[in-house]
Amino acid sequence: MTDHGTDSQDRPGSRDGASPDGASTAGADSIPTDGHDGDHDGDHAGAGLLAIRGLSVSYRTRTGPLPAVQGVDLDVEPGEIVALVGESGSGKSTLAHAIVGLLPAGGHIDAGSVRFGGRDLATLSERELRAIRGARIGLVPQDPTVSLNPVKRIGVQVAEVLRIHRLATRRSAPLEAVALLERAGLAEPEIRARQYPHELSGGMRQRALIAIAIAAQPKMIIADEPTSALDVTVQRLILDHIQHLADELGTAVLLVTHDLGVAADRARRIAVMSQGRIVESGPTAQILDSPRDPYTQRLLRSAPSLALIRAIPPARTAPPARTAPPARTAPPAHAVPRARTSPSAAAEPSGAAERPLVVVDNLVKEFPLPRTAGGSARTLRAVSDVSFTVNRGETLALVGESGSGKSTTARLVLRLVDPTAGRIVLDGDDVTAARGARLRRLRRQAQIIYQNPYASLDPRFSIKEVITEPLRAFGVGDRASRTARARDLLDRVALPASVLERRPAELSGGQRQRVAIARALALAPQLVVCDEPVSALDASVQAQVLELLAELQADTGVAYLFISHDLAVVRQIAHRVAVMRAGQIVETGPTDDLFTSPRHDYTRALLEAIPRWSQQRQAASPGDGKPTGIGGRHT
């Protein structure tokens, strides 16, 4: 990943030019870069805004203390943006919360100091910390949809900060709250202040939370994954606004993120965290262009928003459906389970290959809305006139933001929801109104992989029971042959047979999603709907699971209807892409065409929402916008 010389040269220059105090940058940067010798740096603390030295945090568990943060040093200078990057479980959130003493139950600071404005926050009492929280350090939480009190009006919640710290009177607080909401970038702030959280979109709620964080004009804001729960186009606006406010108010920002692309775009300095330690820190350009630590290098390779510039296997560029099935390079042994379920497999090469596996015609789904006072019944058109086809062995990606109707469309195809109008044909069989035995046949041919592997596996089942449940449901085989099938499937998803008797809770997220994939494939279906299958996983695990999906497709000829909001993921897996917005498909096309020459404005907006840094890299990379040219180097 270090072969982008041209572009790395102009990066630091432009960044320094943009920063208000370019002269001091170099000096500030040097402190943390070479800073694991905590004692030595101790007397530096007065200079910076925040100076963490040798901080260790652990959680009490039944099996003894579990270290989450170990001997971390971190500095934040006044007014600068520092990104703390790491995967889930790296301890980055724990570190961020330990600063303001907001550790979850069982969390405890074991050692180290957190010097902020001349005081060691680690030694303050709860009462003293309260005077810091909200007033001196603001916190923008991770998920805006659950971080506002649902039973209180927005304005009241913003005004509460001012009231707690006695920065406003009962009279003036509501007015100031409105001004703060406006400052946080909310249109019509007077109306928003009177609304409840559920009446606002996720992006609007995050702006309200930003208003809360900046209310008391704190010296520092800790932003803990502030956009990971938001749509991509909204993400960028929110980050822009945080950056803008930080500049305007001279507030420092500690930006906690799993996305190196986001960090690269926003931060002056980056600290990379792994397994409770900061493995590398330094100026952004240095981290990106010459990462020293192997972990940073790996993170750089798999960063989701950077993945666009990654190699894409050549096979992905042409849908295999265009080539006849025999031409597929799948070993015969792997083709067996497929032949077992589709009796027409023998005839397939001649005629069936031409016929799409799934045909969806003018699909419409309307949901009734609550009656308004005196109004007549209204409906929400979640899916509006959607038509597409999925060929055998092909991956069609449905891309869109939340509320675009992509998940509803997937559920319609699976007949988990009944359509209001339109037609769904699976393998030549019109299943739009299928009931009873025909519906059960559809259930057998079409399976689903859900977004959250933490929720989609029954915690009381063993892995064997999870995988064999579809087989039991359809009465396939006897106990012994089902177990053999489960073992075979586990092997296919690269899990050892030893997990058969374990419970989902004993597996990692990536392993669980592999189990979910094995379950989906148990009945050898022709279609698997993947509903955001990797968005709950860490970046490096995402890449592995996507590869697995691609391999399984090559082996079994299964077709995927792949639902995602993440264009980078889609680019890696899909043959064709359909972009959805407000219930309609606005653009459909082969993946490469769509990425290189998007025709619809909305597609362009989605592409632009990908962090700029990676776009610049992409533009600068050889082959100019044809990243497939790098080809074949995928791990």
Partner 1 sequence: MRRYVIRRLAQAAGVLWAAYTLSFLVLDYLPGDPVSAMAGAGMDSSAIDPARLEELKGQYGFDKPVLVQYVDYLGSALRGDFGDSVSTGRPVTSVIADALPQTLQLTGAALLLATLLGGGLALVATYTSQRWLRQALLSLPSLGVSIPTFWVGLMIVQLFSFRLRLFPAFGNDGLRGLVLPAVTLAVPTGAMVAQVLAKSLLTALDEPYVQTARAKGAGRARVHLGHALRNASLPALTVIGLLVGQLMANAVVIETVFARNGLGRITAAAVSVQDLPVVQGVVVFGALVFVLVNLVVDLIYPLLDPRVVVAATVRRSPA
Residues that bind partner 1 (CB under 8 A): 100, 102, 127, 130-135, 138-139, 141-143, 146-152, 160-161, 164-165, 196, 198, 209, 212-213, 367-371, 373, 377, 380, 382, 407-408, 411, 417
Q: How far apart are CA 96 and CA 133, in angstroms?
A: 13
Identify the CA nearest to 453 among candidates 570, 564, 533.
Answer: 533
Please say which residue, 399 or 463, places its beta carbon nearer to partner 1.
Answer: 399
Please say which residue, 150 or 332, places its beta carbon nearer to partner 1.
Answer: 150
Please say which residue, 297 or 402, places its beta carbon nearer to partner 1.
Answer: 402
Supply the minimum distance, in Å, between the C-beta of residue 129 and partner 1.
Answer: 8
Q: How far apart are CA 367 and CA 379, in angstroms?
A: 5
Structure tokens at 219: 């010296």
Supply the minimum distance, in Å, between the C-beta of residue 159 and partner 1.
Answer: 10
Backbone dihedral angles phi then psi of residue 550, each to the nearest 5 degrees: -65, -45
Report residue 265 CA to chain centroid gap: 17
Please say which residue, 249 or 417, places its beta carbon nearer to partner 1.
Answer: 417
Cα angle for residues 439, 361, 607 (degrees, 5° grid): 110
Give the SS3 label for residue 162.
helix
Please say which residue, 161 or 522, places its beta carbon nearer to partner 1.
Answer: 161
Please say which residue, 211 or 457, places its beta carbon nearer to partner 1.
Answer: 211
What's the distance, Cα to Cα, between the start and end of the chain in Å? 13
Please say which residue, 147 or 227, places its beta carbon nearer to partner 1.
Answer: 147
Please say which residue, 140 or 567, places its beta carbon nearer to partner 1.
Answer: 140
Supply the minimum distance, in Å, between the C-beta of residue 584 and partner 1.
Answer: 15
Helices (H), ranges, 474-538: 479-492, 509-521
Please say which residue, 23 or 151, places its beta carbon nearer to partner 1.
Answer: 151
Supply the minimum distance, in Å, between the C-beta of residue 231 and partner 1.
Answer: 16
Q: How far apart are CA 76 and CA 117, in angstroms?
A: 11
Supply the minimum distance, in Å, between the C-beta of residue 370 and partner 1.
Answer: 5
Please say which residue, 175 or 417, places its beta carbon nearer to partner 1.
Answer: 417
- Element housing 346 (H / E): none
Structure tokens at 424: 């769904």
By residue count, the chain amounts to: 635
Cα angle for residues 98, 104, 109 (degrees, 5° grid): 40
**Residue with tokens 């849908």, as numbered in its chain:** 319
Please say which residue, 154 or 527, places its beta carbon nearer to partner 1.
Answer: 154
Beta strands in 542-623 (DSSP E): 559-564, 576-581, 584-590
Supply the minimum distance, in Å, between the C-beta of residue 236 and partner 1.
Answer: 23
Supply the minimum distance, in Å, between the C-beta of residue 235 and partner 1.
Answer: 19
Please say which residue, 380 or 484, places its beta carbon nearer to partner 1.
Answer: 380
Supply the minimum distance, in Å, between the C-beta of residue 226 and partner 1.
Answer: 13
Supply the minimum distance, in Å, between the C-beta of residue 200 and partner 1.
Answer: 12
Q: List C-alpha distances in Å: 231 to 131, 206, 238.
A: 34, 12, 10
**Residue with tokens 């997990």, as numbered in its chain:** 499
Please say which residue, 24 or 195, places its beta carbon nearer to partner 1.
Answer: 195
Q: Are 283 and 268 in contact (CB under 8 A)?
A: yes
Q: List C-alpha distances in Å: 448 to 79, 226, 382, 583.
A: 47, 30, 20, 21
**Residue with tokens 């929110």, as numbered in its chain:** 238
Which own/partner contact pairs does 169-178 have at CB distance under 8 Å and 24+ positions apart? 176/215, 177/211, 177/215
Give the SS3 label for residue 587.
strand
Please say which residue, 100 or 279, places its beta carbon nearer to partner 1.
Answer: 100
Report residue 524 CA to chain centroid gap: 29
Supply the minimum distance, in Å, between the C-beta of residue 100 and partner 1.
Answer: 7
Q: Which residues fall within 8 angstroms of residue 602, CB to CB, at 6 or more apart? A: 579, 581, 586, 587
Q: What is the CA radius of gyration of the chain?
A: 26
Supply the minimum distance, in Å, between the C-beta of residue 359 and partner 1.
Answer: 22
Q: Which residues fall within 8 angstroms of residue 594, CB to CB, at 6 or more apart? A: 577, 579, 587, 603
Supply the minimum distance, in Å, between the C-beta of residue 197 and partner 1.
Answer: 8
Please say which residue, 369 or 439, places its beta carbon nearer to partner 1.
Answer: 369
Supply the minimum distance, in Å, between the C-beta of residue 378 and partner 1.
Answer: 11
Q: What is the β-pairing status of strands 421-426 and 358-368? A: antiparallel
Supply the minimum distance, in Å, between the C-beta of residue 400 and partner 1.
Answer: 14
Q: Which residues fall within 8 angstroms of residue 619, CB to CB, at 6 or more apart? A: 625
Structure tokens at 250: 């001279």
Supply the minimum distance, in Å, between the C-beta of residue 504 and partner 1.
Answer: 22
Q: Are 611 and 83 in contact (CB under 8 A)?
A: no
Identify the CA nearest to 69 among candidates 44, 45, 94.
Answer: 94
- Element housing 105 (H / E): none
Transcribe 517-559 into DSSP letters.
HHHHHTT--SEEEEESTTTTS-HHHHHHHHHHHHHHHHHH--E
Supply the minimum distance, in Å, between the C-beta of residue 383 and partner 1.
Answer: 10
Please say which residue, 146 or 494, places its beta carbon nearer to partner 1.
Answer: 146
Backbone dihedral angles phi then psi of residue 199, each to the nearest 5 degrees: -90, 0
